[in-house]
Amino acid sequence: MIPNPLNPRGYIAYLALAALLVLPLLTKSPFVIHLAIQVCVFAALASAWNIVGGFAGQLSLGHAVYYGIGSYAAGLLVAGFGISPWLGMFVGVGVSALVALVIAYPTLRLHGPFFSLASIAFLEVARLLVNHEEAWTKGAGGLNVPLQIGLKWMIFREKWAYLLVAFGFLLVVLWICRAIRHSRFGYYLIAVREREDAARAIGIDPTRIKIGAAVISACLTSLIGSFHGMYLTFIEPSAAFSLEMSIQIAMFALIGGLGTVAGPVLGTVVVLPIAELARGWLSAFGNGTHGFVYGVVLVAVVLFFPRGLVGQLGARVLPWIDKLPDFGRVKPIAIAPLPTAATATATRGQPILKAENIEKRFGGLKATDKVSLTLHEGEILGVIGPNGAGKTTVFNQLSGFLRPDAGTVTIRDSAGHWLAPRSPESFARAGVGRTFQIVQPFSGLTVLENLLIGAFLRTKGRDEAEAVARSVAELTELTPLLDTEARSLTVGGMKRLEIARALATTPRVLLLDEVLAGLNPSDVARAIVMIRRIRDSGVSVLMIEHLMQATMALSDRIVVIHLGQVLKEGLPAEVANDVEVIQAYLGKGYTHAASA
């Protein structure tokens, strides 16, 4: 569901867009109208790039390859076969989608600059291929589009007609970007961009999400390229497949604000007219001197507006806008009861998560050695051990972030079947939620949006997901902070947020990784009460913790791990008084001294 477009922010945005169309038409100046057409085209290109570069956080430096494919697809079909560019552009879209898949499928599975390098390489290959195939592309000499006037051919006598079409394309791209940003897919993109491991822990497949963003972005870029080629009526490889254009559209999005809907448009409106005017003013100093303007603006934005114009100024401007009359205020979402995965008492006490003889080696080091443990339904199981004992390695195997070299980890679903997930995403879908030792919030999103991303895993729409998110916020005492950015929370607030985000996926098992570490005494007391409430709601809890007093008070059973093996398992009182456990923590010298 997209937020109501009739709120103050919505109608001011529509007025600003309307000004982009109306003001140039009122001037009746061919140059001003041409400038407005360029602004519409490059704002649309920057917005399309922002889907993969801003929302998904993947730097595509060869994005002009899709612009070139769209331009040549429409131009060649018009020139060679007399096919209208309104149809030819969709051929370009199909080819661009295929190329995006070829680039993204292997490279977006890796970390680092591989996607950026691959996009540049494909851009150069495409340019050389078009140069070489002179028989049908006309080579380096460029392709002249036949001047057939009319809407069918997307060629007009008056520039104002081009402006109407360009503005229409911009509206389409912005509508798609806005729909993505406020959809489940858009939130998943931002989650992957912010914290990929945290996204995987709540059931998101990062590779599939990033590939989807790359394909959508490529298709929209190709559409705009088709129109721009018809507007210019001349297409040449060096301009259509230009690295400079790729960097230019990325820069507009960066200046305006990455990951925002309005940012690429604002960046284009601010920078492009200045650069075009500078092209004339500075032409006497040499060709390309206008690029100096881009550099100055980019440096100024990086220094004074590191989050972009929209990101930096939005916090100051939006509160004023929100005070305006709201003609279409969205009704608040009612808080629904939190749907728990295991509320029945019939299966309480039965095994729900098993690790059987799991082993993990890192080179010559055996981090876990035939570790077996069982979590029962409706209990809190504490896993303790001295530093370096292998607790984190076990924890990561129980949540899919490490695959055991031997042994199995299985979870029982609600139907009683035992599943053996293979990845963090499949563990989350099977009903295992987890937190991280070092908190990993989606910092740029609010508390409510963090919880929404978790709730999307098992809900059908935003309303249902928001109801679940608000219920979880009540359980974890985050309701007063729902509209607060995650980066502004205290350490205790971030710990509660991470637990709440995992709970929003409606897990049957919750794995807590040192959630009490770094908390002050009042936050520790609050967390203990909260963990008990979570257990009482029907969620089984396995926790790794170094705060022994709290662990002994919370846990129904304790498993002690030492040197990668299970040293002791039993009730808290039994474990606390076990000689071997004391020696593992304090050394054999302690027991000898105590007996003496």
Q: Structure tokens of 584?
A: 């593992």
Q: What is the pLDDT of residue 319?
A: 64
H or E segment to which residue 368 belongs: strand 365-376
Residue 304 lies in a domain: no
> Angle 263-281/308-322 helices, nearest 10 degrees?
120
Residue 400, in any domain of the structure: yes
CATH number, domain with residue 576? 3.40.50.300
Tokens describing residue 77: 């079909």
Residues 93 and 228 reside in one and the same domain: yes
Mapped onto helix, strand or coil, the DSSP state of residue 402 is: coil
Single residue among 222, 242, 262 that ends a domain in this structure: 242
Q: Which of 1, 5, 53 shows the shortest CA–CA distance to 329? A: 5
SS3 409: strand
Angle, helices 308-322/243-256, rounded to nearest 10 degrees: 30
Neighbours of 439 (CB within 10 A): 22
- How does DSSP classify residue 587? -
pLDDT score recorded for residue 505 = 93
Q: For residue 118, is it within any domain?
A: yes
- Strand, coil or helix: 483: coil
What is the residue-wise DSSP string for 228-290?
HHHHHSEE-HHHHT-HHHHHHHHHHHHHH-TT-SSHHHHHHHHHHHHHHHHHHHSGGG-TTTT
| pTM, full prediction | 0.88
pLDDT at 589: 55
Look at residue 449 in the predicted model and tell me its pLDDT: 94
What's the chain's length in residues? 596
Residue 593 amino acid letter: A
Residue 251: inside a domain: no
**What is the token pair recorded at 308?**
């972009």
Is there a domain that residue 189 lies in?
A: yes
Asked whether 32 and 246 are in contact (CB, 8 A), the reply is no
Q: How many domains, the chain?
A: 2
Say what the pLDDT of residue 504 is: 94
C-alpha span between 454 and 435 (Å, rounded): 12
Query: Same structural domain for residues 237 and 356?
Result: no
**Residue 586, pLDDT score:** 66
The span from the CA of 176 to the CA of 90, in Å, is 17
* Chain mean position to CA 381: 33
- In which residue ranges of the chain is pLDDT below 50? 1-3, 328-331, 339-344, 590-591, 593-596
- Asked whether residue 80 is domain-assigned, the answer is yes
Condensed to tens digits (0 to 9), the pLDDT of residues 13-67 reads 777 788 888 888 888 888 899 999 999 999 999 999 999 999 999 999 999 999 9
The residues that bridge with 376 in the sheet, in sequence order, are: 351
**402 contacts: CB under 8 Å, gap ≥ 6:** 360, 393, 396
Is residue 514 in a domain? Answer: yes
pLDDT digits (tens, 9 = 90+) for 261-295: 988 999 999 888 887 777 766 665 656 666 677 77
Question: How many angstroms separate the CA atoms of 393 and 359, rounded?
Answer: 10
Q: Which residue has the tokens 């394909």?
A: 215
DSSP, res 158: S
Looking at the chain, the whole-number percentage of residues with pLDDT higher than 90 is 49
Indicate the SS3 state at residue 419: strand
Residue whose entry in the numeric block shows the structure tokens 């559409």 = 223
Q: CA 355, CA 408: separation in Å to the nearest integer?
A: 6
Q: How far apart are the first and last CA of the chain?
A: 72
What is the span of the domain harbouring residue 25? 8-242
Tell whether 234 and 358 lie within a shared domain. Answer: no
Q: Is 493:542 a contact under the CB 8 Å cutoff?
A: no
- Of 217, 242, 267, the last residue of a domain is 242
Q: What is the pLDDT, as a whole number, of residue 282?
A: 62
SS3 441: coil
Residue 270 domain-assigned?
Answer: no
Q: Where does a domain end: 213, 242, 271?
A: 242
Cα separation, 434 vs 503, whole angstroms: 9
